[in-house]
Structure 1
Amino acid sequence: MTGILRATTTTSSTELQHEIEQFLYAEAALLDRRKLDDWFELMAPDVHYFMPVRSNRLQRELDQEVSGVGDIAHFDETHALLYQRVRRFRLGTAWAEDPPSRTRRLITNVRVAPTEDENEYTVESNFLAYRTRLEREQDMFVGQRTDLLRRSNTDLGWQIARRTILLDQATVLSKNISIFL
């Protein structure tokens, strides 16, 4: 099988798997509890937070299904841009989030693979993010994330150096994507 992360299953890799899963669950809890400043501390200074646009393509054109870096994207953010988004929430100028959304993020199918750097790991996971706003607005975002996690001195022991979010939907039916995925 190509395109699927495979990791060895030794005791140390099982412990690492558990540690990384706990990090991802804690990150989701920070976002669900709107602790955005604490969440932002999990971003490495060189973070790239990217959510490409997906389009429907014929079988012979599947290599063009997902936009690339430099093409149109839902999110293509650096540390500074993420900081500005978090700051807008804190200052009350994130108008699409006033009143704020209620969210629940589910993270599953976590796969961990080593990189050439012993302090970094490529981590794939599936997610479902449920959002409800006001009285009748409900949205679900479903997809896959590919992260580059780096060991760090943060409380949770890791930072996100890169996150690529690939939604399963080609057309986003939500009024906006004002939450972090």
Structure 2
Amino acid sequence: MTTHAVPDAAAGTNAVPAVSLDTLLRQHEVEQFYSYEAALLDAHRYEEWVALFTDDTHYFMPLRRTMTRRQLHLEFTKPGEMAYFDEDKGFLETRAKKFATGTSWAEDPPSRTRHLITNVRVAEDDGTELVVHSNFLLYRTRLKSDTDQWVGRREDTLRRTEAGLAIAKRFIYLDQTVLQSGNLSNFF
């Protein structure tokens, strides 16, 4: 395995930054959690997916607007403003149960999806909650030839529970400002 030296300005030398075993184990735990979550979604196991969320969760996907550089702070809507999703766990459960009935016109026949999660970064860890940033690509195909793709980033708060990690907050930021899809019935 090749390592790349990173300049150490203070020492004037090239040094590979040290990573502790605890940091590696935490990163692995988070990435495995996201892989499991994506597998549940792609297998249409929505009720099991919703069980990964805490009872006080906030699931939010704001609208994105094209703004000038001076107005980038207004690019995304805020909680309480217009949004694609601004949901609690009860609402997520209702959506998951509706999909399970087969009466959701937007998901009958069901979409075929692939959730790809990349660039997972643990930004904060206070021992109880972790703030995790990641990028995603959600590919969906429906019927014979309908395809959609959504690309963006997620900012999650993961909470350590007796059962393992759980999603206490998920904010989803799409790269697109205009959605070309016929509906937005999938989970991110």
Global fold match (TM > 0.5)? yes
1:137-160 Cα shifts (integer Å, max 9, x gaps): 000000000000011233xx2110
Partner letter of residue 182 of structure 2? K
Q: What SS does the aligned partner of 1:171 have? A: coil
Q: Rg bigger for which structure?
A: 2
Tell me how many residue pairs correspond in the alignment. Answer: 171
Aligned counterpart for 1:132 among listed residues 141, 152, 162: 141
1:44-99 Cα shifts (integer Å, max 9, x gaps): 00010000000001111111101001110000000111111011011222210000
Structure 1 alignment gaps of length 5 or more = 1-7
Aligned counterpart for 2:184 among listed residues 164, 170, 177: 177
CA distance in 2, matches of 1:35, 1:140: 20
Map residues 18-97 of structure 1 onto 2, 5 A cutoff. 18-97=28-107
Q: What SS does the aligned partner of 1:170 have? A: coil
Map residues 108-119 of structure 1 onto 2, 5 A cutoff. 108-115=118-125, 117-119=126-128
Structure 2 alignment gaps of length 5 or more = 1-17
CA distance in 2, matches of 1:161, 1:102: 27
CA distance in 2, matches of 1:15, 1:173: 39
CA distance in 2, matches of 1:119, 1:18: 17
Provide TM-score, normalisation by structure 2: 0.88
CA RMSD of aligned residues (A): 1.1
In structure 2, the residue matched to 1:158 is 165
Q: What SS does the aligned partner of 2:54 have? A: strand
CA distance in 1, matches of 2:20, 2:54: 28
CA distance in 2, matches of 1:153, 1:134: 41
In structure 1, the residue matched to 2:156 is 147
Runs (4 or more) in structure 1 with deviation over 2 Å come to none
Q: What SS does the aligned partner of 2:166 have? A: strand
CA distance in 2, matches of 1:121, 1:80: 23
CA distance in 2, matches of 1:79, 1:40: 7
Partner letter of residue 149 of structure 2? M
CA distance in 1, matches of 2:159, 2:169: 9
CA distance in 2, matches of 1:66, 1:84: 26
Aligned counterpart for 2:131 among listed residues 122, 139, 143: 122
Q: What SS does the aligned partner of 2:167 have? A: strand
Partner letter of residue 127 of structure 2? E
